[in-house]
């Protein structure tokens, strides 16, 4: 059957049409699939956007800083309605007094970079709130900035709790003058320093005869009198170091003038009686001085204070008094540590940690001890010398080896003490990670990190914590509350446990200030999902007190004395 040319053309057109329909259908299906995928992603982005706007404080602003958009959370926190805030400059919220923060912020975002930081803002009613802020420049298709987006979350509770705790740490609870911590802080900030230690003579007899309430009354009165006499001298500050020991610090004061003024203060206080229970009590002070460099100022002041009790005529610290003894002591312990390492006499002792919810010991802390011919020696006597003599690394490795070996077949968690210096020391951090892998023991280990102000490399800390967490280890912040106790950095470290400093626990029965600090730490820990451990629980009364305050675990001689076996 033959076809004409027209018929061939017709069939060809039909064929082309069929091919076109097939291709068009294929493309249409691909476009539909592409459209569905874009719609799915768009839906996800909408949900992300909604979640971000719901959980954060968000605002947009133009290039001059005028507000062009705010979300509901912004209005709730700032107390401004949209119509009151739109079109207004962001500085309507300004509560931060440090202008350098804003200079840095504007410089950063105008250069097209993201700025991050903490800022204090002011609400409509005049009260302040604190926010952690991220400001991002938004670019148009030509690469020009056309607006800024600020995403914030409120950190007021964190800031206020940290400020309150630091205020408590810097102010002595009983006398309301500077604390020992405040003295150490001021010594670090000031130069050309003089210090005097004022020690009430025979104060224990006052407590024994009149009781602690009268004793506290006398301490408050003495502190007030010293402060009244010191406040007239602008270069002077007063502190309470311990129960009956006070300190006066001066900067840029001549030695002779400082001594003359302190002796005058001592005479005035000693000349006026304190009335208690209908009796007149005269308070006398031992005074001592140190004019050493700031690095050893407080240490030498305490040395001479103790020295004056047996040598009353020597009230000024003289470096020659103790330097030979210190050298002798350092050489003595350096040799002892060396022999102990050679003879495997650096041994872990283990102290139980008691769970107040299950009422049993569930974990142990490995504590370093030195076996000195059958006598067990605490690291208090040799650890600082080990650091100075370069033996600290060997001690640390020995503790890791022995404690890992001991617990490898036991069904208990155990903790080892680690410092930020240990983490920063690559040899130490690599060694412990290798040993965890070798023993396959990560799930049993808790790293107790001593809480410190001197964290200047969070990236390094995060890297180490990430490594050990991947190996199953947990993290505890040790001695929390003893120094620079910052709740914000505690959240950054993301610890599993907070160990409340023993100096707070041991005096909790007699110090309301300690009780307040402990309660605040427990409350914060509970809010953040951290477990708390109270150290230095040495009696039933302290045990019951911290249990009532709400700690999760206790540790101390009342529960379990450290021993070489568990």
pLDDT for res 485: 54
Q: Output the average pLDDT for the chain.
A: 85
Q: Quick one: average pLDDT of 14-30? A: 67
pLDDT value at 2 more than 60: no
Is the pLDDT at 404 greater than 90, yes or no? yes
Tell me what percent of the residues of the chain surpass a pLDDT of 70.
85
Virtual CA dihedral for 374, 378, 379, 384, nearest 10 degrees? -100
CATH level 3 topology of 56-154 = Beta-Lactamase (3.30.450)
Structure tokens at 131: 């926010």
Cα dihedral sign for 488, 493, 499, 504?
Answer: negative
E strand residue ranges, 252-294: 274-276, 279-281, 285-290
Q: Which CATH architecture describes the domain 161-321?
A: 2-Layer Sandwich (3.30)
- Over residues 222-258, the pLDDT tens digits come to 999 999 888 777 789 999 998 899 999 999 999 999 9
The correct answer on CATH 1.10.3720.10 for the domain covering 325-554 is no
pLDDT tens, 318-343? 766 654 466 567 788 888 899 999 99
8 A C-beta contact, residue 504 and residue 469 = no
pLDDT at residue 303 tops 90: no
Segment 356-374 mean pLDDT: 94
Does residue 498 contact residue 480 with C-beta atoms inside 8 Å? Answer: yes
What confidence category does residue 37 fall into, taking pLDDT thresholds of 50, 70 and 90? low
Cα Rg, the chain, nearest whole Å: 34
Distance CA 193, CA 236 (A): 10
Measured in whole angstroms, the distance separating CA 504 from the mean position of its chain's CA atoms is 15
Which is more confident, 1 or 528?
528
Q: How long a stretch of residues is the chain? A: 566
Percent of the chain residues past pLDDT 90, beyond the cut: 44
Q: Which residues make Cβ contacts (< 8 Å) with residue 427, sequence separation at least 6? A: 393
Predicted pLDDT at 106: 92
Instruction: Kindly compute the dihedral angle of the four CA atoms of residues 112, 113, 114, 118, in this order, to the nearest 10 degrees.
Output: -110
Task: Indicate the pLDDT class of residue 352, thresholds 50, 70 and 90.
Answer: very high
Residue 369: predicted pLDDT: 95
User: Per-residue pLDDT tens for 449-495?
Assistant: 875 545 566 788 889 999 999 999 999 998 887 654 567 767 777 88
pLDDT level of residue 533 (50, 70, 90 thresholds)? very high
CA pair distance 350, 376, nearest whole angstrom: 13
| Backbone angles phi and psi of 133, in degrees to 5 | -120, 140
Select the more confidently predicted residue: 291 or 306.
291
pLDDT value, residue 357? 94
H or E element that contains 240:
strand 236-242
Q: Output the pTM of the full model.
A: 0.59
**pLDDT average, residue stretch 133-157:** 90
pLDDT of residue 323: 46
Mean pLDDT for the stretch of residues 51-80: 85
Evaluate if residue 550 carries a pLDDT over 90.
Answer: yes
Whether 161-321 and 325-554 share one fold: the answer is no
Burial zone of 437 (CB within 10 Å; 0-12 exposed, 13-18 middle, 19+ buried):
exposed
What are the sequence ranges of the domains in the chain?
Answer: 1-46, 56-154, 161-321, 325-554
| Residue 436 · residue 471 · CB < 8 Å | yes
Model confidence at 267: pLDDT above 60: yes
Within 13 Å of residue 402, how many CA atoms lie on the same side as its CB? 20
51, pLDDT greater than 50: no
Give the pair of three-digit tokens for residue 224.
């007030």
Residue for token pair 């230095």: 536
Residue ranges of alpha helices (H) inside 211-254 are 212-230
Distance of alpha carbon 155 from alpha carbon 304, whole angstroms: 46
């Amino acid at each position: 059957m033959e076809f004409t040319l027209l018929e061939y053309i017709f069939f060809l057109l039909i064929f082309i049409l069929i091919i076109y329909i097939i291709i068009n259908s294929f493309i249409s299906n691909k476009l539909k699939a592409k459209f569905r995928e874009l719609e799915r992603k768009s839906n996800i982005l909408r949900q992300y956007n909604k979640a971000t706007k719901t959980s954060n404080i968000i605002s947009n602003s133009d290039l001059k800083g005028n507000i062009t958009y705010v979300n509901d959370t912004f209005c709730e926190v700032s107390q401004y309605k949209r119509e009151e805030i739109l079109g207004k400059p962001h500085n309507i919220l300004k509560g931060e007094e440090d202008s350098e923060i804003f200079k840095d912020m504007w410089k950063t975002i105008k250069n097209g970079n993201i700025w991050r930081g903490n800022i204090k803002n002011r609400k409509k009613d005049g009260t302040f709130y604190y926010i952690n802020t991220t400001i991002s420049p938004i670019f148009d298709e030509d690469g020009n900035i056309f607006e800024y987006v600020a995403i914030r979350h409120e950190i007021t509770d964190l800031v206020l709790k940290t400020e309150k705790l630091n205020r408590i740490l810097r102010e002595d609870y009983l006398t309301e003058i500077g604390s020992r911590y405040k003295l150490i802080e001021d010594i670090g900030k000031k130069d050309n320093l003089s210090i005097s230690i004022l020690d009430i003579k025979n104060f224990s007899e006052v407590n024994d005869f009149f009781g602690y309430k009268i004793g506290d009354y006398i301490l408050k009165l003495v502190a007030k009198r010293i402060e009244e006499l010191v406040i007239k001298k602008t270069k002077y500050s007063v502190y309470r170091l311990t129960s009956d020991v006070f300190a006066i610090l001066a900067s840029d004061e001549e030695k002779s003038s400082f001594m003359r003024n302190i002796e005058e203060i001592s005479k005035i206080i000693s000349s006026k009686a304190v009335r208690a229970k209908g009796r007149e009590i005269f308070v006398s002070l031992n005074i001592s001085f140190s004019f050493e460099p700031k690095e050893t100022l407080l240490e030498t002041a305490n040395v001479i204070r103790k020295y004056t009790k047996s040598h009353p005529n020597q009230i000024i610290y003289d470096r020659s008094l103790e330097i030979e003894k210190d050298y002798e002591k350092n050489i003595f312990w350096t040799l002892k540590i060396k022999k102990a390492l050679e003879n495997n006499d650096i041994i872990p002792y283990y102290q139980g940690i008691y769970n107040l919810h299950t009422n049993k010991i569930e974990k142990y802390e490995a504590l370093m001890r030195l076996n000195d011919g059958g006598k067990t020696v605490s690291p208090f006597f040799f650890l600082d010398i080990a650091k100075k003599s370069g033996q600290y690394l060997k001690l640390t490795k020995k503790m890791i080896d022995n404690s890992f070996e001991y617990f490898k077949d036991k069904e208990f968690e155990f903790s080892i003490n680690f410092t930020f210096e240990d983490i920063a020391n690559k040899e130490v951090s690599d060694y412990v990670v290798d040993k965890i892998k070798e023993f396959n023991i990560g799930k049993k280990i808790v790293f107790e990190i001593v809480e410190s102000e001197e964290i200047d490399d969070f990236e390094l800390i995060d890297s180490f914590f990430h490594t050990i967490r991947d190996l199953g280890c947990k993290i505890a912040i040790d001695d929390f509350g003893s120094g620079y106790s910052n709740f914000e950095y505690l959240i950054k470290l993301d610890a599993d446990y907070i160990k409340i400093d023993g100096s707070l626990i041991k005096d909790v029965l007699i110090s309301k200030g300690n009780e307040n600090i402990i309660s605040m730490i427990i409350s914060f820990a509970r809010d953040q999902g951290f477990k708390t451990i109270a150290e230095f629980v040495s009696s039933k009364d302290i045990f019951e007190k911290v249990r009532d305050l709400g700690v999760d675990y206790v540790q101390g001689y009342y529960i379990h004395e450290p021993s070489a076996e568990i």
